[in-house]
């Protein structure tokens, strides 16, 4: 009986074998080297995968992010510049303009219809009627190089007439016609006087005409 059991055990060991890993050689006692063709075949998928990844990366680089692209320049139509007519004339004649100032009281240093001195008044006349800016000082206007000297006998409308004393120019007016001129008097405000009046005749210092 014992001999029979031993025989059956040997038979089972002989007929049964453990699964062996592919490429294992019982003679060599180790795994067989993988053939070169098989290595190439196995490496091919990896190379193809790497190529695909590289191409994908290149494509990603070439695709620009819309958010980083500069916005297209908008075409704008040229803006038309508007120009204002110089002078800002509201009155047909100089006499009409100066008459609108009649009665404005004299205020030293003033230059408005609420109150003005002589040079402040002339500043308004030339700015509003002729579009010319002047200094707020009679002596400075007398030396203004934009004006040329004219004789008393050749006075025309718009010429500036100056008055003063030993110390220099102290008063200014604008000539109208027939010896009359408009000015801001210290006692009566804006009014019209005549060059032949004793006070102004004795203090007359000359006249200037704007060069145009």
CATH code for the domain of 120:
3.90.1720.10
**The one catalytic residue among 94, 122, 159, 183:** 183
Task: Please check whether residue 106 is in contact with residue 189, taking contact to mean a CB–CB distance below 8 angstroms.
Answer: yes
The answer to whether residue 132 sits within a structural domain is: yes
* pTM for the whole structure: 0.59
Domain contains 84: no
What are the tokens at 13?
């060991």
Active-site hit among 171, 174, 181, 195: 171
Active-site annotation holder among 118, 122, 161, 176: 118
C-alpha 182 chain-centroid distance: 44
Q: Whole domain around residue 178: which residue ranges?
A: 98-210
Answer yes or no: is 158 within a domain: yes
171 as an active site residue: the answer is yes
Residue with tokens 């139509």: 77
136 is catalytic: no
Specify if 166 maps to a domain.
yes
Residue 118 annotated among the catalytic residues of the structure: yes
Alpha helices in 116-162 (DSSP H): 118-125, 138-142
- 78 within some domain: no
Q: What is the pLDDT along the chain (212 residues), one digit of tens a residue?
A: 555 545 555 544 444 444 444 554 555 555 555 555 454 444 444 444 544 454 444 444 444 455 555 555 544 444 333 333 344 457 899 999 999 999 999 999 999 999 999 999 999 999 999 999 999 999 999 999 999 999 999 999 999 999 999 999 999 999 999 999 999 999 999 999 999 999 999 999 999 999 98
For residue 3, is it within any domain? no
């Amino acid at each position: 009986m014992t001999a029979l059991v031993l025989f059956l055990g040997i038979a089972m060991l002989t007929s049964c074998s453990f699964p062996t890993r592919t490429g294992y050689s019982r003679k060599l006692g180790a795994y067989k080297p993988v053939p070169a063709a098989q290595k190439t075949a196995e490496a091919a998928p990896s190379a193809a995968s790497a190529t695909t990844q590289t191409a994908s990366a290149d494509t990603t680089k070439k695709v620009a992010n819309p958010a980083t692209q500069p916005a297209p320049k908008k075409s704008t139509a040229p803006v038309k510049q508007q120009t204002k007519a110089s002078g800002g004339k509201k009155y047909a004649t100089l006499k009409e303009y100066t008459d609108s100032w009649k009665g404005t009281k004299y205020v030293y240093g003033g230059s408005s219809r609420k109150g003005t001195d002589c040079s402040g008044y002339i500043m308004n006349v030339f700015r509003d009627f002729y579009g010319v800016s002047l200094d707020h000082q009679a002596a400075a206007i007398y030396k203004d190089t934009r004006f040329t000297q004219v004789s008393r006998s050749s006075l025309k409308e718009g010429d500036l007439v100056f008055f003063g004393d030993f110390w220099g120019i102290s008063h200014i007016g604008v000539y109208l016609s027939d010896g009359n001129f408009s000015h801001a008097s210290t006692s009566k405000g804006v009014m019209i006087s005549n060059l032949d009046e004793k006070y102004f005749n004795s203090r007359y210092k000359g006249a200037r005409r704007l060069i145009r």
